[in-house]
Amino acid sequence: MSPSPRSIRLLATPLLLLGLFAATIGPAPDRASAGTGSSGAPATNGATGSAPAVAAAELSNKVHLFYYSWYGNPATSGQWRHWQQGGHTPPDDIGADLYPSLGAYDSGDYAGAVAQHMAWVRQSGAGVIVYSWWGQGSFEDNLAAGVLDAAARQGVKVAWHLEPYQGRTAASTVADVNYINQRYGSSPAFFRDPEHGNRPAFYVFESVRITDWSPIAPLKANNIILAQTTNTSLVGDFGGIYTYDGIAGATAPGWQQAAAYAKANGLVWAPSVAPGYIDDRAVVGNTTPTVDRANGAMYDQQWNNALNPATGGTPSWVSVTSFNEWHEGSSIEPARANPPAGHGYLTYTGAYGRTGAAAETAYLDRTAYWVNRFDPGTGVPEGNLALNRPATASGQCAVGEAAGKAVNGTWSGGLSDKWCVLGNTRWLRVDLQSNTQVGRFVLRHSGAGGENPAWNTRDFDLQTSIDGTTWTTVAAVRGNTADVSTHPVAPVTARYVRLNVLAPASDGNTATRVYELEVYRA
Q: pLDDT by residue (tens digit) across 426-461?
A: 999 999 988 888 988 999 999 999 999 999 999 999
Q: Specify the pLDDT at position 1.
A: 31
Contact 59, 155 (CB under 8 A): yes
> Between the ranges 43-57, 305-319, 365-379, 398-412, where is the mean pLDDT highest?
305-319
Alpha-carbon span 189 to 169, nearest angstrom:
27
Residue range 497-513, pLDDT digits in tens: 999 999 999 999 999 99
Contact 421, 395 (CB under 8 A): yes
Alpha-carbon span 346 to 423, nearest angstrom:
46
pLDDT, mean of residues 344-362: 89
Whether omega for the bond prior to residue 14 falls within 30 degrees of 0, making it cis, is no
Residue 412: pLDDT band by 50, 70, 90 thresholds? confident
Lowest mean pLDDT among 87-101, 158-172, 176-190, 408-422: 408-422
Q: Specify the pLDDT at position 413.
A: 78
Q: Specify the pLDDT at position 242.
A: 98
pLDDT, mean of residues 35-57: 36
> Between the ranges 18-27, 337-346, 408-417, where is the mean pLDDT highest?
337-346
DSSP result, 477-513:
E-S---SEEEEEEEEEEEEEEEEEEEE--SS----EE
Which residues touch 483 (CB under 8 Å, ≥6 apart)?
444, 445, 446, 447, 448, 453, 456
Q: Is the confidence at residue 47, as pLDDT, over 50?
A: no
Contact 408, 480 (CB under 8 A): no
Alpha-carbon span 510 to 422, nearest angstrom:
6
Contact 315, 306 (CB under 8 A): yes
Which residues touch 60 (CB under 8 Å, ≥6 apart)?
125, 126, 127, 371, 374, 375, 378, 379
pLDDT, mean of residues 293-318: 96
Q: Specify the pLDDT at position 264.
A: 97
Contact 255, 311 (CB under 8 A): yes
Q: Is the confidence at residue 382, as pLDDT, over 70?
A: no
Share of the chain above pLDDT 90, in %: 77
Q: Specify the pLDDT at position 9.
A: 32
> Largest Cα–Cα distance in the chain?
78
Alpha-carbon span 483 to 516, nearest angstrom:
11
Bridge partners, residue 443, by sequence? 485, 517
Q: Is the confidence at residue 246, as pLDDT, over 80?
A: yes
Q: Specify the pLDDT at position 73.
A: 98
Alpha-carbon span 140 to 62, nearest angstrom:
24
Residue 177: pLDDT band by 50, 70, 90 thresholds? very high
Q: Is the confidence at residue 274, as pLDDT, over 60?
A: yes
Share of the chain above pLDDT 70, in %: 88
Alpha-carbon span 172 to 355, nearest angstrom:
48
Q: Specify the pLDDT at position 57.
A: 53
Q: Is the confidence at residue 326, as pLDDT, over 60?
A: yes
What does each C-alpha distance from 219 to 187, 354, 460 come to in angstroms? 20, 46, 56
Residue 380: pLDDT band by 50, 70, 90 thresholds? low
What average pLDDT does the chain have? 88
Measuring CA to CA, which residue among 165, 210, 159, 131 is closest to residue 32? 165
Q: Specify the pLDDT at position 115.
A: 95
| Cα atoms in the Cβ-side hemisphere of radius 13 Å centred on 255 | 30
Which residues touch 82 (CB under 8 Å, ≥6 apart)?
1, 30, 33, 34, 70, 71, 72, 95, 327
Alpha-carbon span 120 to 319, nearest angstrom:
16
Q: Specify the pLDDT at position 365.
A: 86
Alpha-carbon span 267 to 220, nearest angstrom:
10
Residue range 145-171, pLDDT digits in tens: 999 999 999 999 999 999 999 999 999
pLDDT, mean of residues 126-137: 98
Residue 297: pLDDT band by 50, 70, 90 thresholds? very high
How far is residue 180 CA from its own chain's centroid? 21
Which residues touch 58 (CB under 8 Å, ≥6 apart)?
127, 377, 378, 379
Contact 326, 96 (CB under 8 A): yes
pLDDT, mean of residues 181-210: 98
Q: Is the confidence at residue 11, as pLDDT, over 70?
A: no
Alpha-carbon span 509 to 454, nearest angstrom:
9
